[in-house]
Amino acid sequence: MNLYDTKSIICHKCKFVIGEIDFDAEVILPLCGKCANPMPEGDKILYTASYFKNNPPLKKAMIVQAP
């Protein structure tokens, strides 16, 4: 295999070059790591999403005020 038997794979969304594959291979809508995983580890939105999933906000009827 030489240089001309491969083609570059480019992310469908951000146009980042992902890598190279055989020229005769077919890839439909390739995505890079950032585009494929919109909520990466260490992102605070994961904590927020899981917090509200496990602790739904209280409704006004459920809030009891002390007299």
> Is this model's pTM higher than 0.75 or not?
no
CA–CA gap between residue 63 and residue 66 (Å, rounded):
10
Cβ-Cβ contacts under 8 Å for 27 (sequence gap 6 or more): 9, 21
Helix (H) or strand (E) segment spanning residue 22: strand 17-22
Mean pLDDT value across residues 24-49: 74
Q: Please check the confidence at residue 19 and state whether its pLDDT lies above 60.
A: yes
- Within 13 Å and on the Cβ side, how many CA atoms surround 23? 6
Q: Please check the confidence at residue 17 and state whether its pLDDT lies above 60.
A: yes
Say whether 17 sits in a helix, a strand or coil: strand
